[in-house]
Structure formats: C-alpha cells, structure tokens
C-alpha cells in the first residue's frame, strides 16, 4: 500500500494543515498540527506552500514539444558563427547519417541580415543531413547532404531559392520546408524518449495531467510510443489523448480505445481543425481583417463537412474538440456541435481556443452546454491582435471571464510548444491579461480552477482536495492565497503528486 503525508502546507481556505493519502486517495485532511501516520509513510514537507488539486494542461502537443526540445536551439544565435557553433555540437551528438534539426534562427538579428545558405553549414556536416528552420517556421536552410537525401537538387519554383548561377542556395520556403521536415524519420523509440523528456518537465512545473493532441502527420508513431509507455508502466502523469480524424482507422485496428482506458492514459476524443491562426491571418473571420481589408481568413472545411465529421465522432461516443479561432470558425464549430449536443452536451464536446467569441456565439454555446479550452497566455503574447481585429472586436477576443460568467465550462492550457508549458504563466495571464481588455480578467482562485476542477471536467476526470478524492496535487513553494497577482508569476512548485506518488518533489528523501 502506498502512503504519503504532505505535512505543513497551506490549504485553500488559508488554514495550515496536512494531507494523508493511501493508495492514491486522500484518506485524511488534518488542520493544524501533525497527524499520526503509520510507520513507513513517505513525507513531503509543505513548508507553508499552498496545496491545490493537480494542475492539468487541457491543450498541448507534447510530441511536437519533445521534438523541438531535442532539436538544436538557434534562438540565441546572433550571427552565422553562432549558428555554426550550435549546429556543430548537434552534429557531434548525432548518429552517422541521422538528421540534425535546428530551429529558431533569425537573420534579422545577424550583421548584414543575409539569409544563411548551404555553403555556411556544409563543412560542419558532410554526412548528416541538416535542416534549420527560421524562427517563423516558414523558411529554412538545408545543407547539401539534406538536399541530396531529399533529391531536390533539380526542383524548380519559388519555394526553392537559387543563386545567380542557378544552384540551390539551400533556402526552402513554406511547403518545400514542410516536405523536408516530414522526411525526418520519427521512430516510436525516439518519440517515447522525447515524451519522457517532456513529462519530467511537466511534473517539475506542477502538471499532473496533459490533454495530449496527437499530430495528423505522425499519429501512428506517436500512438505506438504512448501505448508502449503505458503498457510498460512508464507514464507518471495522466494523458487524455485526442487523435486526428485520419487516425480513427488505426485506432480501431490497434484496439487503442481498449488499450487506453486506464487512469494513466485514456483515449478521449478527436481533434478537428476549422481554421488557422490570427498571426498568419488564416483564422476565419466574419468581417475582414482590420490590417488586411481584402482578407477574412479561411475555413478548412465546408459547414456540412464539419457537421459530418462531428456526427461521426459523436456516434462513436468520442469527444469532439474543434480548433476554431476566428468568429466565423467559432460559429461553424458551434453550429456543428449544437446539432449533436442537445442541451446538456453529454460527450462534453468543446471548442479549442474559441478565440473570437462574441456574445451571440457564447449564448449558443451556453444554451447547448458546449465547452471551451482556452489558452490564457495567448492574451499576453498576441500583443499585435488589436491590429488584426481592431479595438471593437478585441473586446470579444479570448473572453475568459465572459465564458465563465455566462455558464460555459472553460479550461486552461498552453498549446505548448506554441506557448510555454508552465501553467503558472497561464494562470498569471488569466489574472492580469497584461492589461489587455482587463474586464475579462479573473481572480486567482478562478484562474486556478481553469487548470484544476474545470480542466478535469473537460477531460471526464474528477478532482477535489477532499477526503476520498484522488490524490493528485500540486504543492506551490509559497502561500498563494491572497497573493498579489503580479507576484504569482514567480511562484515555483515544491512537489507534484499523481495518484499519491510524488512524481516531482524536493521533500522525499
């Protein structure tokens, strides 16, 4: 039997106390002094820090993040020499012939602002193919080994840059870069170690659960890696898994719904895309972009097509989670989901991001019990959003307070690697909004709920810090009750407990 005592923490009503857990459940909450516990009980020292139900990130891409973490980070390179130094250490670590991937270079920061070329990196890696994508992800540079491996030396078109002599410079753009990156093999073994790497970071950050979005390009390998780790008992945080529609055949053939039914990993639903992003002006708007009057963005599917996919997912008893950022896309998602949701939405279908959500759409969501998964960090990161949608519409962009006030279940997430996986930063953004549309700010206890009770609910889980409840907790390194919101950003995590087991802790010997 596993036994754990978290001693000397601050409970949510600001009283000091201890929580004793047995076999993954809360057995006893004691206020004031130390409780008696059986010998052999593990102890985590709370040091007065706040203990809250385990934080859950309800929208992230751990495989994509793991992939980036393994790549060569070029964000700090201030010139070509800086790029070369970092790439050469990446090449040294790679196996013979293995692809070396780097990301984040920005020639705008280089003296002379010239784009890097294959000539700049060829001597570093004559045998290993190298692909380095720019910070924006729309342009990249390949070395000659990569060009040879891809067989693109003779390719024409604007996506392949050529010099005055007609030779490829190594710079590839958009689709050509995407195709090159897709060539980099993703074996399940490598993905599994990427996931373990992200998982340990998640635990350090206080996350006990991740709503894991599986990618349309790599779902076979990603699901194989995840189910392998689950079968081997290697997962230490909880995964709620969302697959793309194209993966459903594979899910069925491999019996993944049966394999992923447990508390550590459960296949919850299907992620569907309706539009793009505000940053790239591909989010579908009802009215044109304020800074691009000829453009209203793009819907990826016709209304009927989306409705069909949603109906299919619903009929399988799975949760549909629909990416929608522009108000036209949110409208399309609401229409499709409301057809299957009735008034209570038993399968908890939800809209991911739900970026531009004016009142008429919110009231339809509330009426049908349609939920939302929001990313508070977008508010503080997308400081340019007012240029895209103008002052008027900005009022309804990421309206987190309105969602909650109007009875819509909304949960928090990072969309990592788009934003930092750190939930403290998301909570802080929900509270402060960096001063952007401050009417939509929410107080700290509400913001915590986005990542605790509401997050659990959005994934068919239950969480509560009460006797008999699940022993999933996050222990902060300070008493956050009554803390000034600006200070919350610096709060750290002393311990993360999943099922009564500390998966990250400074307190257990």
Contact positions vs Zn ion (CB under 5 A): 415
Closer CB to Zn ion, 201 or 415, in the complex: 415
- Residues sharing a CB contact under 8 Å with residue 300, sequence separation 6 or more, in sequence order: 273, 274, 275, 276
Which residue's CB is nearer to Zn ion, number 45 or number 415?
415
* Minimal distance, residue 415 CB to Zn ion, in Å: 4
Spatial CB neighbours of 435, under 8 Å, sequence gap ≥ 6: none
Residue 91's CB is within 10 A of a number of other CB atoms, namely 19
Our CB check for Zn ion shows the closer of 211 and 433 to be: 211
Distance, in Å, from the CA atom of 132 to the CA atom of 270, rounded to the nearest integer, reads 31
**Of residues 172 and 324, the one with the C-beta less far from Zn ion:** 324
Residue closer to Zn ion, measured from CB, 322 or 495: 322
CB atoms within 10 A of CB 442: 21
Q: In 234-324, which ranges are E strands?
A: 238-243, 265-273, 319-324
How many Cβ atoms sit within 10 Å of the Cβ of residue 233? 8
- Interatomic CA distance for residues 469 and 138, integer angstroms: 47
Question: Which residues are CB-neighbours of 27 under 8 A, at least 6 positions away?
Answer: 20, 21, 467
In the bound state with Zn ion, the residue whose beta carbon lies nearer, of 374 and 475, is 374
- Considering just the CA atoms, what is the radius of gyration of the chain in Å? 24
CB 155 within 8 A of CB 177: no
Omega cis (within 30) before 59:
no
Q: What is the DSSP letter of 316?
A: T
Q: Which is nearer to Zn ion, 415 or 472 (CB)?
A: 415
Question: Which is nearest to 144 in space by CA: 114, 169, 162, 172?
Answer: 169
Comparison of 194 and 415: residue with beta carbon closer to Zn ion: 415
Q: How far is the CB of 217 from Zn ion (least distance, A)?
A: 14
Kindly state the tokens that stand for 291: 């800074």
Using DSSP's 3-state secondary structure scheme, residue 221 falls into helix
Place of tokens 């895209």: 388
Calpha distance 188→190 (Å, rounded): 5
Minimum distance from residue 469 beta carbon to Zn ion (Å): 30
Angle ∠(208,346,59) on CA atoms, nearest 5: 35
Q: Which residue's CB is nearer to Zn ion, number 63 or number 488? A: 63
Which lies closer to Zn ion via its Cβ, residue 331 or residue 352? 352
Distance between first and last Cα of the chain = 19
Strands (DSSP E) along 149-237, which ranges? 160-162, 168-173, 207-213
> Which residue number has the CB closest to Zn ion?
415
Q: Shortest Cβ distance from residue 416 to Zn ion (Å)? A: 9
């Amino acid at each position: 039997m596993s036994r754990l005592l978290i001693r000397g923490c601050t409970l949510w009503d600001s009283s000091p106390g201890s929580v004793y857990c047995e076999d993954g459940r809360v057995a006893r909450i004691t206020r004031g002094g130390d409780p008696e516990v059986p010998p052999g009980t593990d102890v985590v020292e709370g040091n007065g820090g706040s203990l809250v139900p385990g934080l859950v990130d309800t929208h992230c891409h751990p495989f994509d993040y793991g992939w980036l973490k393994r790549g060569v980070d070029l964000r700090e390179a201030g010139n070509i020499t800086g790029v070369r130094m970092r790439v050469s250490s990446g090449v040294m670590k790679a196996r013979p012939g293995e692809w070396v991937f780097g990301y984040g270079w920005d020639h705008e920061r280089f003296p002379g602002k010239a784009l890097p070329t294959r000539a700049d990196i060829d001597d570093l890696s004559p045998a290993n193919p190298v692909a380095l994508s720019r910070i924006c992800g729309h342009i990249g540079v390949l070395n000659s080994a990569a060009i040879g491996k891809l067989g693109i030396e003779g390719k024409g078109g604007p996506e392949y840059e050529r010099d005055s002599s007609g030779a490829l410079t190594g710079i590839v753009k958009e689709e050509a870069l995407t195709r090159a990156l897709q060539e980099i093999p993703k074996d399940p073994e490598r993905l599994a170690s990427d996931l373990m790497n992200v998982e340990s970071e998640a635990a350090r950050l206080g996350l006990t659960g991740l709503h894991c979005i599986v990618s349309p390009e790599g779902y076979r390998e990603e699901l194989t890696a995840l189910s392998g780790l689950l079968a081997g008992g290697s997962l230490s945080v909880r995964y709620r898994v969302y697959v793309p529609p194209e993966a459903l055949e594979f899910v069925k053939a491999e019996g993944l719904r049966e394999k992923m039914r447990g508390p550590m990993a459960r296949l919850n639903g299907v992620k569907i895309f309706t539009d793009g992003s505000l940053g790239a002006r591909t989010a579908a708007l009802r009215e044109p972009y304020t800074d691009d009057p000829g453009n209203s963005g793009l819907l990826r599917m016709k209304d009927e097509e989306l409705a069909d996919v949603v109906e299919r997912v619903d009929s399988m008893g799975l949760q549909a989670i629909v990416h929608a950022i522009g108000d036209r896309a949110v409208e399309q998602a609401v229409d499709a989901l409301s057809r299957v949701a009735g008034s209570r939405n038993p399968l908890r279908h939800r809209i991911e991001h739900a970026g531009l959500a004016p009142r008429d759409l919110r009231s339809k969501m509330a009426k049908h019990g349609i939920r939302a998964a929001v990313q508070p960090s977008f508010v503080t990161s997308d400081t340019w959003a007012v240029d895209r949608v103008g002052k008027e519409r900005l009022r309804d962009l990421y309206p987190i307070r309105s969602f909650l006030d109007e009875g819509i279940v909304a949960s928090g997430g990072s969309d990592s690697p788009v934003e930092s996986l750190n939930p403290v930063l998301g909570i802080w953004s929900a509270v402060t909004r960096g001063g952007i549309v401050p009417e939509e700010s929410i107080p700290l206890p509400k913001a915590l709920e986005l990542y605790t009770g509401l997050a659990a609910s959005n994934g068919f889980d239950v969480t509560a810090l009460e006797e008999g409840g699940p022993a999933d907790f996050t222990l902060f390194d300070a008493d956050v009750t009554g803390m000034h919101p600006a200070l919350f950003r610096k709060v750290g995590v002393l311990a993360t407990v999943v099922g009564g087991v500390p998966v990250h802790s400074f307190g257990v010997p």
